[in-house]
Chains A and B, each alone.
Chain A
Amino acid sequence: MALTREQIASIATLARLDLTPSEIPVYQDSLSRILEFVGALERADTADVTPMAHPLPGLVQRLRADRVTETDRHELYQQNAPLTAAGLYLVPKVIE
């Protein structure tokens, strides 16, 4: 199936990706080809097959005791932050 420019723009919006006008036809072409390629899955008979989410049957998510195991290392972590002040992460104003 061929995707339209509008569909690519809509996917990019959902994915929070800013695309340049020249990128849109590139992804229009390659995503259409990928979807056509994965369309081969339609031919498989999967009636009554349980979807497989991960490869370890019987694996259950472990729970740990509800107690503090981490120490406060925000100064170290915030060294990677684009913008901080007073121990807080700064972002553009959200509410006017």
Chain B
Amino acid sequence: MSALHAHTLTQLADGLRRKRFSSVELVGELLARIEKSQPLLNAFISVTAAAALEAARAADRTLAAGAGAALTGVPIVHKDIFCTAGVRTTCGSRMLENFVAPYDATVVAKLKGAGAIMLGKTNMDEFAMGSSNENSYFGPVRNPWNPQLVPGGSSGGSAAAVAARLTPGATGTDTGGSIRQPAALCGITGMKPTYGRVSRYGMIAFGSSLDQGGTLTASAADAALMLREMAGFDARDSTSVDTPVPDYVAALEEPVAGLRIGVLAEFFDKGLDADNERCVREALRILESLGASVRQVSLPNLPLSVPVYYVVAPAECSSNLARYDGVRFGHRCENPRDLGDMYRRSRGEGFGAEVKRRIMTGTYVLSAGYYDAYYLKAQRVRALINADFVRAFESVDVLIGPTTPTPAFPIGAKTDDPITMYLNDIYTIGANLAGLPAISVPCGFAQGLPVGLQIVGPHFSEARVLGTAHAFQRATDWHTRIPVGYA
């Protein structure tokens, strides 16, 4: 096999098992691509080339002996929010610029246990706060489809790396759309599982009632394979749910004939770009032609999901990020006068502008006199939105709509107004508030840029969500498109 980078994760796992190429060849080719792309895309914060090649040699010995696990020798990359033992873990922040994780996140350990090889750690919005990857201390990531444009965020490095075929798979995290939105803007497949499905041990916390780890890959079949190895109960995460992990790969071939699709009326609003709408409507016609039934569904409280999110997420972030005090790890200012000065200056210097904005928003909505008006009110509206989803899933199996209102936008275009930036996640936040599994898959192009289709299911319906996405990808070839210059 030549040009190994163009193959999917599933194909590469299979090719390695059949010894059609070696892990060393594959890892070497991808490391060369990463090095070449880095000055332009800036998709990586750290590249672990030597360790990756050493692991590849070990994987080749394992495979030669006829042994191995599901992903033996397959290269992947991790969003730099996942702790990796002995490897710098920055979360895109100056605060953790020199932080070397003392242990592996469960997701990292599980993928390593399945035989996967880490090539490096991907760039991201600082502490996963952003929708454009412009909030990274390590500089913006650029979109492989057009380097003047953002890749989306916060898992922008992971999305750009998969889109540019620098890796067949990447981990990401999704608090309000941070896997699905960059996947849509980069023309790849991004899967956020049910809240509690994937362990968050060693995944740096942002909004604890929302955060969930997931995958960025070229296809839904690849997502199924990677998620099967990542998911599962973990006693070290108190929000981890003790429910068996189905074989998502085996479930991919479930037919979509008879599937009841609800089209989210609230998502086809005036903010939706006409070309995005055209692509999504065409995708619905394709799913209908495969035997699914499509009906309109209304979730009347869903338009309030962004305001709910911008109370709940900052509140949780202000609490979670209180741990960065310059005492035991992270940035400490020079020559502190006293303890208070050390806290204030270490945090003032260590955090970037958007992180500070969210900490302060969260501090305000939790402060005396405002807690009821903002935080409790938002939690009540969150319950209404959740009830809308529960009601919708009484009559449909999945909900479908666009992932984002528009295709990728220019770097710098939305940095002046936080509200404009926040509205990028208008279609993705609902699934986080209700803790639902959701995937974004490529469904066409608008002005030459990829458009994402979002499929949302009830709690723990990952198999059905992935199966629906897979059926769509068997009928279309949008997910096989590679940006010019990276084929």
* Chain A residues near B (Cβ < 8 Å): 8, 11-12, 14-20, 23, 26-27, 30-31, 33-35, 37-42, 44, 46, 49-56, 59, 61-62, 64, 73, 76-83, 89, 91-94
B20: Cβ under 8 A from any A Cβ: no
A89-B327, A94-B339 are contacts. A52–B382 as well, Cβ < 8 Å? yes
Interface core residue of B239, B364, B419 (most chain A CB under 10 Å): B364
B348: Cβ under 8 A from any A Cβ: yes
Distance from B177 Cβ to chain A, minimum over Cβ atoms (Å): 15
Chain B contacts for A14, CB-based, 8 A: 363, 367
Distance from B49 Cβ to chain A, minimum over Cβ atoms (Å): 23
Please determine whether A30 and B339 come into contact, CB atoms closer than 8 angstroms: no
A56-B435, A93-B338 are contacts. A11–B356 as well, Cβ < 8 Å? no
B304: Cβ under 8 A from any A Cβ: yes
Please determine whether B310 and A34 come into contact, CB atoms closer than 8 angstroms: yes
What is the CA–CA distance of A64 and B235 in the complex, to the nearest angstrom? 9
B48: Cβ under 8 A from any A Cβ: no
Distance from A70 Cβ to chain B, minimum over Cβ atoms (Å): 11
User: Per-residue 0/1 for B303-319: is the Cβ within 8 Å of any A Cβ (1 yes, 0 no)?
Assistant: 01011101100000010
What is the CA–CA distance of A23 and B344 in the complex, to the nearest angstrom? 14
Please determine whether A38 and B374 come into contact, CB atoms closer than 8 angstroms: yes
Chain A contacts for B367, CB-based, 8 A: 11, 14
Please list 21 pairs of residues, one from A and one from B, whose beta carbons are closer than 8 Å in the complex, sorted by A's number: A11-B367, A31-B357, A37-B419, A37-B422, A41-B308, A41-B378, A49-B383, A50-B383, A51-B380, A52-B380, A55-B433, A55-B436, A55-B459, A56-B195, A62-B238, A77-B328, A79-B102, A82-B331, A82-B332, A92-B337, A92-B342
Chain B contacts for A15, CB-based, 8 A: 318, 347, 359-360, 363
What is the CA–CA distance of A48 and B134 in the complex, to the nearest angstrom? 41
Chain A contacts for B208, CB-based, 8 A: 54
Chain A contacts for B206, CB-based, 8 A: none
Chain A contacts for B306, CB-based, 8 A: 37
What is the CA–CA distance of A33 and B386 in the complex, to the nearest angstrom? 26
Interface core residue of A11, A64, A94 (most chain B CB under 10 Å): A11
Selected from A44, A50, A51, A80, the residue in CB contact (under 8 A) with B328 is A80
Please determine whether B307 and A37 come into contact, CB atoms closer than 8 angstroms: yes
B100: Cβ under 8 A from any A Cβ: yes
What is the CA–CA distance of A44 and B308 in the complex, to the nearest angstrom? 11
Please determine whether A59 and B196 come into contact, CB atoms closer than 8 angstroms: yes
What is the CA–CA distance of A69 and B348 in the complex, to the nearest angstrom? 36
Selected from B307, B379, B382, the residue in CB contact (under 8 A) with A38 is B307
Closest to A47 in B: B380
What is the CA–CA distance of A10 and B330 in the complex, to the nearest angstrom? 25
User: Per-residue 0/1 for B196-210: is the Cβ within 8 Å of any A Cβ (1 yes, 0 no)?
Assistant: 100000000000111
Please determine whether A49 and B384 come into contact, CB atoms closer than 8 angstroms: yes
Please determine whether A92 and B338 come into contact, CB atoms closer than 8 angstroms: yes
What is the CA–CA distance of A33 and B325 in the complex, to the nearest angstrom? 28
Chain B contacts for A83, CB-based, 8 A: 332
Extra inter-chain contacts (8) besides given A19-B348, A38-B365, A82-B327, CB under 8 Å? A11-B363, A16-B340, A17-B344, A27-B360, A38-B374, A49-B381, A80-B98, A81-B327
